[in-house]
Amino acid sequence: MTLNSKQLKVVIAAAVIFIVMGLYPPWIYTLDVESIHSEKPAGYALIIAPPTPEKNAPAFGVRLDISRLLLQWLVLGAATVGAVLVAKGPRME
């Protein structure tokens, strides 16, 4: 399958968005104390500069929210496929 110029622009835009999503992923604040385990969203931050934990104690931490990042990439993939199909234009015979 060859891509027309509109489809190519969609694919390039999706690739750029994919990279940006990977560079600024979602993060989670964590708290682990004995039987207490708590997590809450920490927003988005640069992959090489994650957010700092809420408190400076060993029980507090921060980690990458991989499930949310994968969901974002999945939705982007589905939207890209849809946009590429729409950009194909009417069928000419």
Per-residue pLDDT of the chain (93 residues; tens, 9 = 90+): 788 889 999 999 999 999 999 999 999 999 999 888 999 999 999 999 999 998 988 899 999 999 999 999 999 999 999 999 998 876 655
Does residue 91 lie within any of the structural domains? no
Cα angle at 55 between 54 and 58, to 5 degrees? Answer: 115
Looking at the structure of the chain, the number of domains it has is: 1
**Nearest by Cα to 25 from 67, 53, 55:** 67
Residue 75 lies in a domain: yes
CA atoms within 13 A on the CB side of 30: 11
Q: pTM here?
A: 0.85
Judged on CB neighbours under 10 Å (0-12, 13-18, 19+), 14 is: middle
Asked if residue 9 belongs to a domain, the reply is no
User: How many CA within 13 A on the CB side of residue 12?
Assistant: 7
In sequence order, the 6+-apart residues with CB closer than 8 A to the CB of 14 are 76, 77, 79, 80, 83
Is 62 contained in some domain? yes
